[in-house]
Amino acid sequence: MKLSLSVAVGNYDRTRALVDGHVQIDGVQPAIMMLSPEEMFFRAFRHADFDITELSLASYAVSLANGANKYVALPIFLSRAFRHSSIYVTRASGIQTPEQMRGKRIGIAEYQLTANVWARALLEDDFGVSPSEITWARGGMDAPVRPEKLHLDLPSDVKVEAVKAGDTLNQLMKDGKIDGFIGPRAPKCFFEEDSKIVRLFDDSVTVGLDYYGRTGIFPIMHVLGVRKTLLEQQPFLAQALIKAFDEAKNIAEAELADTSATKVTMPFVEDHLDRIKGIMGTNFWSYGLDDANRNTLQTFLDHHHRQGLSSRALAVDELFPVNAVEAYSL
């Protein structure tokens, strides 16, 4: 008899074959929910609502370092993104270079979001701007209140201020009361006609690929997590999930490369795919712990600790169970 388990993931091409049943998880009858990251992560880290769920890498590292993790991660990287495109500034702020963010007031939905860790890391590594040189205004993007999912004990030199009751980051940007915003979702005011909000980096593709060329890092955002008690009782799930999610990703990659009919509502997608393969290799979205992923994860964990999010320095091998990184071969 198969295990009936709840599974929460985002709506991606790389998960679609699992959702439509084309790919099966060995020994599992999944009840799959496609949810937004905000809903998944809040429900997972506040209430452990799901048996298997996509997780924020940053939130997972916070809970793991504190010994409070209710989930165990697998090296299935459901979301990856270069975060140069996630830094927005107001025209009125006068910010034209990353160095000019020093002394400014920048909005964030949550300090510990994975996208924000990566954005602060690139600001520090490439431009010498440390998190303590910016005042962070925390609040909801479109709703007045958004609490941190997890308790944080940040360094004393990091200034995080809650916005006033009733204020939203979107409106504060429009009113010029904050100088910018960092986050995985663009603020709504960025898309308005005659918007006074711009991305810090005009050509985020060029700067992102330059970053990759120098570091070999394709930033990891999300991992897959299994309820800790469940994995202890059913250790076969680690390899069963890795096998299924890897197969689903392979199907998505094959469909994306099929030029008989464009699979994405975007012109020149095939040309862009060829360009990326030429720069990043054919296995650019890899799962598992190859050297590139180890380097990416260790870089993230180092910054996560330096930014005061993890109570102790974590090593990559602490993130995943042994049976998730060892597999049979023929």
- Are the C-beta atoms of 146 and 183 separated by less than 8 Å? no
- Are the C-beta atoms of 25 and 17 separated by less than 8 Å? no
| Crossing angle (nearest 10°) for helices 114-127 and 291-306 | 90
* Model confidence, pTM: 0.95
Looking at residue 131, the DSSP 8-state letter turns out to be: G
Closest CA relative to residue 54, chosen from 68, 23, 25, 33 = 33
Which pLDDT tens digit goes with each residue over 128-169?
Answer: 999 999 999 999 998 887 777 888 889 999 999 999 989 999
Delineate the domains of the chain, giving CATH numbers in brackets. 3-81+219-324 (3.40.190.10), 83-215 (3.40.190.10)
Taking the C-alpha atoms of residue 313 and residue 295, their distance in angstroms, rounded to an integer, is 15
Q: Which tokens belong to 100?
A: 């000019």
Q: What is the DSSP string of 47-114?
A: H---SEEEEEHHHHHHHHHTT--SEEEEEEEEEE--GGGGEEEEGGGT--SGGGGTT-EEEES-TT-H
Per-residue pLDDT of the chain (330 residues; tens, 9 = 90+): 899 999 999 999 999 999 999 999 999 999 999 999 999 999 999 999 999 999 999 999 999 999 999 999 999 999 999 999 999 999 999 999 999 999 999 999 999 999 999 999 999 999 999 999 999 999 999 888 777 788 888 999 999 999 998 999 999 999 999 999 999 999 999 999 889 999 999 999 999 999 999 999 999 999 999 999 999 999 999 999 999 999 999 999 999 998 888 888 989 999 999 999 999 999 999 999 999 999 999 999 999 999 999 999 999 999 999 999 987 777
> Are β-strands 28-34 and 3-9 bridged in parallel, bridged antiparallel, or unpaired?
parallel
> Are β-strands 105-108 and 135-138 bridged in parallel, bridged antiparallel, or unpaired?
parallel
- Are the C-beta atoms of 243 and 26 separated by less than 8 Å? yes
